[in-house]
Amino acid sequence: MNTLRTTVLLAGMTALFMGVGFLIGGQGGMIIALVVAAGMNVFAYWNSDRMVLSMQGAREISPQSAPELYAMTQRLADNAGLPMPRLYVIDTEQPNAFATGRNPQNSAVAVTRGLLRHLDSREVAAVVAHELAHIKNRDTLTMTVTATLAGAISMLAQFGLFFGGRNNDSPVGAIGTIAMVILAPIAAMLVQMAVSRTREYEADRDGAAICGDPMALASALQKISATGRRTVNMAAERAPAMAHMYISNPLSGARMDNLFATHPNVENRVAALTEIARMGGGGGGQFARSRASNTRPVASRPGQSWRTPGTRPRDEGPSGPWG
């Protein structure tokens, strides 16, 4: 089903890309757009994860710089039957995370500095488990490719604003081109939404099973939602087509109707997780017991998060992987 969904989605994005090309340059523009779209589909399959990580300002971290985060992720990956993903950190105070990669063997999990600062160890583990569930379900290929192509469609529409109306081959003229600039990105967004938001519910459920703590994920989602409304993620704001990849909508001004929502309502997700916990689901606390027996205490000063290295004055520059 995931393969079929990815194929249908790629076909829809390609058709939209060709349609924009036709509106800009007629038949010639459509043929050029087809060639470009075919190349982009191949490129996106192999390289879109690196593009997404780069555009979000993610920096890879090593086991030496974040030993506890690595050990925690390794145990969660073992619980999920997955290879260890690469780990990245995004330098923003907004608590959030996403996963990317074309398959479990070439996957990555990116967490923000704010996630590590504002959430406790149980909640961070639950968020990472949610992202590992996306990797296990192979959602990451669909999410990453759609983000790349949706961004390309928006850029092509902007290109048409400058050149489409002047091109005699354009069947819509200047007014139609302006309308296309407005409508094409919206259409791309709607195609993205064609990938059902139930994948978030599925990742919540499977993530709860991986970490064994549904209520930790529910608490994490509440904190992420509350803090995210007050914090701007500049990398996400510059690339809004990638918002659907995060565990929670990172766009501070994008509280839109359900038709355009990138994620299910947080209250509904929390209610579903609460029901899982009430029914005794979530893997029976497997990771919670593993964490209790394998994680040693971390000395920290008051107000310092569980795994953030001691900080220096801001004018001395970054300290460690969290900044």
In a domain, 56, yes or no: yes
In a domain, 316, yes or no: no
In a domain, 260, yes or no: yes
Predicted local confidence at residue 177, as pLDDT: 64
Predicted local confidence at residue 227, as pLDDT: 87
Predicted local confidence at residue 240, as pLDDT: 77
Give 230-236 contacts, CB < 8 A, sequence gap 24+.
Answer: 231/92, 231/93, 231/94, 231/95, 231/114, 232/94, 233/90, 233/92, 233/94, 233/96, 233/112, 234/92, 235/55, 235/56, 235/57, 235/90, 235/92, 236/56, 236/94, 236/96
In a domain, 312, yes or no: no
Instruction: Provide the number of structural domains found in the chain.
Output: 1
Q: Which structural domain range is residue 23 located in?
A: 2-294
In a domain, 40, yes or no: yes
Sign, CA dihedral 145-47-128-209, equals positive
In a domain, 228, yes or no: yes
Chain centroid, CA 188 distance in Å: 17
Predicted local confidence at residue 299, as pLDDT: 33
Query: Is 131 annotated as catalytic?
Result: yes
Q: Helix 198-211 crosses helix 214-228 at what angle (to 10 degrees)?
A: 130
Q: Which of 60, 93, 123, 131 is catalytic?
A: 131
Predicted local confidence at residue 97, as pLDDT: 96
Encode the chain (323 residues) as per-residue pLDDT tens digits: 656 766 777 677 777 777 777 776 666 766 776 777 677 767 777 887 888 899 899 999 999 999 999 999 999 999 999 999 999 999 999 999 999 988 899 999 999 999 999 999 999 999 999 999 999 988 887 776 776 677 677 777 766 666 555 554 555 566 666 676 677 777 766 666 656 566 888 899 999 999 999 999 999 999 999 888 788 888 888 877 778 789 988 887 554 445 556 688 899 999 999 999 998 866 544 444 444 344 333 333 333 344 544 333 333 333 333 33
CB 188 within 8 A of CB 251: no
In a domain, 309, yes or no: no
In a domain, 137, yes or no: yes
CB 145 within 8 A of CB 50: no
Q: Which residues, at least 6 apart from 115, have a Cβ–Cβ distance to it below 8 Å?
A: 95, 96, 97, 124, 127, 224
Q: How far apart are CA 128 and CA 18, in angstroms?
A: 37
Predicted local confidence at residue 282, as pLDDT: 65
